[in-house]
Amino acid sequence: MLLLDRKGAVTNGWTRTEGAAIGNVPKALVAFEVLPEALTQVTPGQEVGVLIPNALSVSELEPYLSRLSLVAIAFPAFADGRGFSLAKAIRRAGFDGTLRASGPLIPDQFDYALACGFDQIELPEASADRQSVQQWQQAIGRLSQTYQRGYRREGNILDRRRLARLASVGALS
């Protein structure tokens, strides 16, 4: 397993637990089915994260979001793009913890994932063996500016054009 964020490889501080028993694991990553039960066992200072399937509706997760430090969305295949929309919906619901895409994504999706609200990519061995951390790094900002507004990325083209317009109006007045 390789864990990446926009700066490169990072250490995974999270432990996947069996069932709802989170004991005294400092950062426990649990399955969605056992989340309500796991949350009843949280001790002070302990953090809980959840791994969710990409078919889950955000409304089912929403009641728990404020108590979670990490949400990992499973990507069963890189071509299954539901996770992008789910991430966007989870951010809109106010989640400001770590959002992780977990599955065989490819570097060409890194920018998209970051723009939709993900912080981390958790790659299986088989993908990480072929696709170096360097390739993932190089994929960031390959398209330096894009056209969509309302996503988490630096300066989109529509906003740049707006700024240019305002500047030219300012210059005239």
Partner 1 sequence: MYRYDEFDERFVRERVAQFRDQVARRLDGSLTEDEFKPLRLKNGVYLQLHAYMLRIAVPYGTLSSRQLRQLALIGERYDRGYGHFTTRQNLQFNWPKLRDVPAILELLADVEMHCIQTSGNCIRNVTADHFAGVAQDEIEDPRPVCELIRQWSTAHPEFSYLPRKFKIAITGAQHDRAVIKAHDIGIRIVRHTESGEVGYEISVGGGLGRTPMIGKAVRDFLPRADLLAYLEAVMRVYNLEGRRDNKYKARVKILVHEIGTEEFRRRVEAEFALLDGPSVNADPEELARIASYFTPPAYETLPQDSAALAAAKAANPEFARWVDTNLTPHRVPGYTAVTISLKPVGLAPGDATSEQMRLVADLAERFSFDELRVTHAQNLVLPHVRQDDLFAIWQALVPVGLATANLGLITDIIACPGLDYCALATARSIPIAQAISQRFADAQRQAAIGELNIKISGCINACGHHHVGHIGILGLEKRGIESYQITLGGDATENAAIGEILGPGLPAEAVPDAIERIVSVYESERDAGERFIDTVKRVGLVPFKAAFRELADAAA
Q: Please give the residue ranges that form the binding site for partner 1 (CB under 8 A).
A: 78-82, 84-86, 88-89, 92, 106, 108-109, 111-113, 115-116, 130-132, 135, 138, 142-151, 153, 157-158, 160-162, 165
Pick between residue 42 and residue 132 the one whose CB is nearest to partner 1: 132
Least distance from partner 1 to the Cβ atom of residue 24, Å: 37
Task: List Cα–Cα distances, 106 to 101, 124, 156, in angstroms.
Answer: 11, 11, 23
E strand spans, the chain: 2-5, 8-9, 15-16, 27-31, 47-52, 70-74, 98-102, 120-123
The angle formed by the CA atoms of residues 31, 14 and 33, to the nearest 5 degrees, is 5
Query: Could you tell me if 28 and 14 are in contact, meaning their C-beta atoms sit under 8 angstroms apart?
Result: yes
Pick between residue 39 and residue 89 the one whose CB is nearest to partner 1: 89
Pick between residue 29 and residue 86 the one whose CB is nearest to partner 1: 86
Distance of alpha carbon 118 from alpha carbon 3, whole angstroms: 12
Pick between residue 16 and residue 162 the one whose CB is nearest to partner 1: 162
Least distance from partner 1 to the Cβ atom of residue 152, Å: 9
**Which phi-psi region, left, alpha or beta, contains residue 43 (left: φ > 0; alpha: ψ -120 to 50)?**
beta
Query: Could you tell me if 75 and 106 are in contact, meaning their C-beta atoms sit under 8 angstroms apart?
Result: no
Least distance from partner 1 to the Cβ atom of residue 67, Å: 23
Least distance from partner 1 to the Cβ atom of residue 113, Å: 8
Element (H, E) at 56: none
Least distance from partner 1 to the Cβ atom of residue 21, Å: 32
Pick between residue 79 and residue 167 the one whose CB is nearest to partner 1: 79
